[in-house]
Structure 1
């Protein structure tokens, strides 16, 4: 049975399973660019007795000793040591995607007693907020961030890879807007199997806007195109992306960055201008251990932690559900709307302000959803300026907007600093601390739930790091 043939009411989950040769091979097939479906059909036939239907197109992703068990690794363990620790055949547990009747989830012996987790739908943070008038342009943002001083000190982003985890990059549009052809590492980019486009040649849209924001601050970075928001379960045409789709792409990114070392740059920044807009999108009720939005032990947290443990800076948007003018998709809910990975301790979470350092009315505020670290956002960066011109409205080009843009600007600031401050010198947690400590205080006593520690100041951060005199 195919996923699109599921009876009405079935729930999509990520199910933990014990290691099996077919699951190891399915994961390996995906990493090497082959379809895992053949291996998964074998696995599904052998497990037909279970109360779930396996999505054979998804394949399998390793979680090694389980979602809440993290190996002892560090930034310097990339390469040979990472291969020995995280080889696929060392993974005792794998996740598969399955479709389940809700009544089966209540059975004590469901899935052989192994846990399952939510696989909720996701979206970009670019649903246009009501306030869509530009308050400045790219030049003014660069002035506010003093990019001249960054570049006078050689901080252009050279030797830094930035993964744009979004809807895909249109490189020709970026070249037209920026006046130069940005570096794009096609070989280390990754396209979900359900997409026909190639890296750098995706439709102009949200992902291109995010890439522009990064390049506006750090023009010499090497972009990695990860259009994971366009991945979708086979046959579920109304779904734009799920956490499971993100995990597949993140596995590829972790594999190439930390394990086989094909990403040759000395630093990696991962830009995530996406999230879950409303608690109703999670299939499971409050306080259920299978949830994603308020569960720090969801398997996706392991993948984020692996990236940061191996030295990648992971940046997330706070969201556009702030009290003042929340995006329509928030359904007027504004409290506790920083959820899931956007609220993890390991990531830098961005609020948004205009070029005058005033919080934009839609920028999501803390505290984060109950059950997650409450002190979010971490810092604030610029948005609501005329920049990439990816969207034309009735009055002309629309501004780059939302905390999506703030997230990309912050990623560009980090990439600039990483030019001369590799993760072996300052790990991601320390970089977050520096950015917090050097932010321009705003909103009263800091930290606060509107601005976090204040508005990003990369030059002050560079001086704190000793890379700017």
Structure 2
């Protein structure tokens, strides 16, 4: 049977395996942009089992001593010296993707005694039809953020790479809307093996909207196109992207961008509802409320190397939650969007009013509760990636807020590299300089308040 023919009775997981020469080679194939199928086929043949079907198209990624072990790296590690710390042959453990019979999970020696983890479906924190009226335009956003002062002080994103982890970028549309052709690093971008389009030429949509939000604040950044929300297990046309696609993409992103002086990673995506996690509450294999899920290893590695990782809070707030939330609004900031080391964004309009769909804290039980961290602007007419019955739709959702925030961080990184201010300190500065809103600070509606990049620049000493 093929993987997609097993969905009705098997579940998809990320499985840990001991190092094997085939797994090392498959990881190298990924880095080199080569299909891993030919390499993995021998491993699949040698490890065939009726209740454990290995997905040969996934390849393998290193997790060194296991998902709870992060190699010791720092913001000062660069180039080959950094890569030597993450050498594939040093990894004692690798992750593969498999389809398993749920009845087999409780067997004493299932997967040779090695752990497995949830691989739930994901989606973008996307536009929201029930609140599709623009409250302003992109110029109002720029005015509220005082981007003129940022650029007057050389804070335009020059020298900073921004990875758009999304549905892909269509660069020609950005050029038409912005009046200039934004920089795109094709060599350090990456496309999942199941996606045929080239970097910068993906269909106009959610990812292009996010790239526009970044460029509206920091026009001189260099974009990296990581259309991971388009990636999915081969043949599974009915599912969205999965957390395993993020694991693959983050692995490649780390390997390719270690030499970057400054990197911001925009993640306007998340898991829509707890029911999408295959495992029950309290199960250590879960993703949504498990701080030890292996995806966190890659997030931790990125921040250790100095990358600023920015996430959307989601669109399940009290007032008008997105339909995919199934009316659930409590504890709906989940998974990676809750990690302590990421900057998580709520959403407000250009009048500083929280949008009714912006997800509120506390996060799902078991994870860092104080989210969102800060709030940024959304619901503005900007990218014009979608036309509705009354004209162009605004850029909405915590997706757009996340992108605007990534632009703010990139602007500050123009003159404040991670070797001077590490990501954790940058988050603390952004929290301390945010405009307080909503009573006690922090609160679960706005976090520490609305992002104020100029105030942050003053605090960092890069704006007089």
Deviation at 1:81, TM superposition (A): 2.9
Question: Residues 133-144 of structure 1: matches in 2 within 5 Å?
Answer: 133-144=133-144
Match of 1:148 in 2: 148
Deviation at 1:7, TM superposition (A): 6.3
Q: 1:85-133 CA deviation, whole Å, 9 max, x = no partner?
A: 1110011000000000100011121001100000000001105251110
2:279 is paired with a residue whose SS is coil
Q: Is the contact made by 1:129 and 1:328 (CA closer than 8 Å) also made in structure 2?
A: no
2-structure distance, mates of 1:163, 1:72: 23
Q: 1:138-180 CA deviation, whole Å, 9 max, x = no partner?
A: 0010000000100110111000000000000011110111011
2-structure distance, mates of 1:154, 1:49: 59
Match of 2:410 in 1: 415
Of the candidates 317, 333, 356, which is equivalent to residue 328 of structure 2?
A: 333
Unaligned runs of 5+ residues in structure 1 are none
2-structure distance, mates of 1:313, 1:341: 14
Q: 1:265-303 CA deviation, whole Å, 9 max, x = no partner?
A: 420000000000100000001010000000000000000
Match of 1:392 in 2: 387
- The TM-score with structure 2 as length reference comes to 0.99
2:163 is the alignment partner of 1:168: no
Over 4 Å off, 4+ runs = none
Go from structure 1 to structure 2 and tell me whether the alpha carbon gap of 1:113 and 1:50 turns closer, same or farther (over 3 Å shift): farther
Deviation at 1:71, TM superposition (A): 2.1
Deviation at 1:41, TM superposition (A): 1.2
Question: Residues 266-281 of structure 1: matches in 2 within 5 Å?
Answer: 266-281=261-276
Question: Residues 196-215 of structure 1: matches in 2 within 5 Å?
Answer: 196-215=196-215
1-structure distance, mates of 2:324, 2:128: 10
2-structure distance, mates of 1:189, 1:149: 31
- The TM-score with structure 1 as length reference comes to 0.98
2:419 is the alignment partner of 1:424: yes
Q: Is the contact made by 1:162 and 1:224 (CA closer than 8 Å) also made in structure 2?
A: yes
Question: Residues 19-418 of structure 1: matches in 2 within 5 Å?
Answer: 19-49=19-49, 51-258=51-258, 261=259, 265-418=260-413
Deviates more, 1:14-23 or 1:190-199: 190-199
1-structure distance, mates of 2:417, 2:441: 28
Match of 2:453 in 1: 458
2-structure distance, mates of 1:288, 1:113: 16
1-structure distance, mates of 2:49, 2:120: 26
2-structure distance, mates of 1:179, 1:79: 34
Q: 1:237-275 CA deviation, whole Å, 9 max, x = no partner?
A: 1112001011111111000112xx3xxx42000000000
2-structure distance, mates of 1:196, 1:81: 33
2:130 is paired with a residue whose SS is coil
1-structure distance, mates of 2:129, 2:450: 21
Alpha-carbon RMSD: 0.9
Q: Is the contact made by 2:128 and 2:322 (CA closer than 8 Å) also made in structure 1?
A: yes
Q: Is the contact made by 1:118 and 1:290 (CA closer than 8 Å) also made in structure 2?
A: yes
1-structure distance, mates of 2:2, 2:37: 11
1-structure distance, mates of 2:372, 2:416: 24
2:381 is paired with a residue whose SS is coil
1:229 is paired with a residue whose SS is coil
2-structure distance, mates of 1:222, 1:84: 26
Match of 1:437 in 2: 432
2-structure distance, mates of 1:163, 1:313: 10
2:331 is paired with a residue whose SS is coil
1:216 is paired with a residue whose SS is helix
2-structure distance, mates of 1:353, 1:18: 47
Unaligned runs of 5+ residues in structure 2 are none
Deviates more, 1:459-468 or 1:2-11: 2-11
Deviates more, 1:136-145 or 1:34-43: 34-43
Q: Is the contact made by 2:155 and 2:218 (CA closer than 8 Å) also made in structure 1?
A: yes
Deviation at 1:463, TM superposition (A): 0.3
2-structure distance, mates of 1:206, 1:310: 28
Deviation at 1:35, TM superposition (A): 1.1
Q: 1:302-361 CA deviation, whole Å, 9 max, x = no partner?
A: 000000000000000000000000000000000000000000001000000000111000
